Amino acid sequence: MLLDTFGRRAVDLRVSLTDRCNLRCTYCMPEQGLQWLAKPELLTDEEIVRLVTVAVRDLGVQEVRFTGGEPLLRPGLVGIVQACADLDPRPELSLTTNGIGLARTAAALRTAGLDRVNVSLDTLDPDTFHTLTRRRRHHDVLDGLAAAEAAGLTPVKLNAVLMRGVNEDEAPALLAWCLERGYELRFIEQMPLDAQHGWDRSSMITAEEILERLSARFDLTPEPSATRGAAPAERWLVDGGPARVGVIASVTRPFCRACDRTRLTADGQVRNCLFATGETDLRTALRSGADDAELAALWRTAMWGKKAGAGIDAPDFHQPDRPMSAIGG
């Protein structure tokens, strides 16, 4: 098992398949100038499957989420999903994506064994989408969402980040839109993980503010906290339920005490936290001939060193050098 000194057990693995992306969300990446990982540094499809196998078979991982960068840019994605779906025990398999290209691949991903998707969409307005992502691809995301639903990658979840002066007014409209379609919406507080280090706490839209804005239009009642478990989103029933909305208050109400995550970057580094400043290099070990037991031991040691919390509020907080897009959000 992947345990740490605070008694937490990591059962949820986030695998980043690439650090590249076809959008340039302002809270994530600069317009240009970001150095991509070099191809030889990236794990091959076979290496990814080998490490996921060790995690699932030997280390107790129960859920695998593919992310990035934009995971749909990885040519071997369907094959990776298929190989992971063949594992015994079979993990839950999900994907976090910006949705571009999902219209083409949703059915194949479902057939390969993908269970669910989270699609990121911050706005209903194509121009605001362009301001936020620097690309005119709003319609591609909507097509991707529809395809995910049609393929049975359900419940379809939507992730949204609100930015002051850009889409901060859209919270109620986004929720109404999701309710109409049966999508589950979760707002994520903007975190200090952008490549350009432009995060500013004073302008960040807090969970409290999001809830205030939603409450102007909807009646929100908290779901009993017992059902939150290790899930980062706190959830509210909308107008009495059963529809729900979630808020991931990573900054103002961190959920580190219940964290059950472990992360593998596209270049084969294990990270025990999004905000960790250290990593454990499984790629070098793997390419030097380490056997599965040795890889598992390295992974265990990496998780044992996990800190109590992300420490965003600590006076000595230091944003990790690796941006979100290269960690895997």
The CB-of-265 to ligand SF4 minimum distance in angstroms stands at 13
DSSP for 255-269 reads -GGG--EEEE-TTSE
The CB-of-190 to ligand SAM minimum distance in angstroms stands at 4
- Residue 179 to residue 189: CA distance in whole angstroms: 21
DSSP for 133-183 reads HSS--HHHHHHHHHHHHHHT--S-EEEEE--TTTTGGGHHHHHHHHHHHTP
Q: Which is nearer to ligand SF4, 83 or 101 (CB)?
A: 101
For strand 12-16 and strand 261-264, is the pairing parallel, antiparallel, or unpaired?
Answer: parallel
Cis peptide before 155, with omega less than 30 degrees from 0?
yes
Q: Which is nearer to ligand SAM, 193 or 286 (CB)?
A: 193
Q: Which is nearer to ligand SAM, 265 or 325 (CB)?
A: 325
Site for ligand SAM in 39-98 (CB under 6 A): 67-68, 70, 96-98
Candidates 4, 70, 143, 170; binder of ligand SF4 (CB under 6 A) is 70
Candidates 11, 13, 17, 21; binder of ligand SF4 (CB under 6 A) is 21
How many residues at the interface with ligand SF4, by CB under 6 A? 12
Contact pattern for ligand SF4 over residues 72 through 111, marking x by CB under 6 A: --------------------------x-------------
- Residue 54 to residue 47: CA distance in whole angstroms: 11
The CA angle 304-14-226, to the nearest 5 degrees, is 75
Q: Does 141 bind ligand SAM (CB under 6 A)?
A: no
- Beta strands of 41-91 (E only): which ranges? 63-67
Candidates 21, 211, 282, 303; binder of ligand SAM (CB under 6 A) is 21
Judged by the rule CB under 6 A, the positions of this chain that interact with ligand SF4 are 21, 23-25, 28-29, 68-70, 98, 120, 325
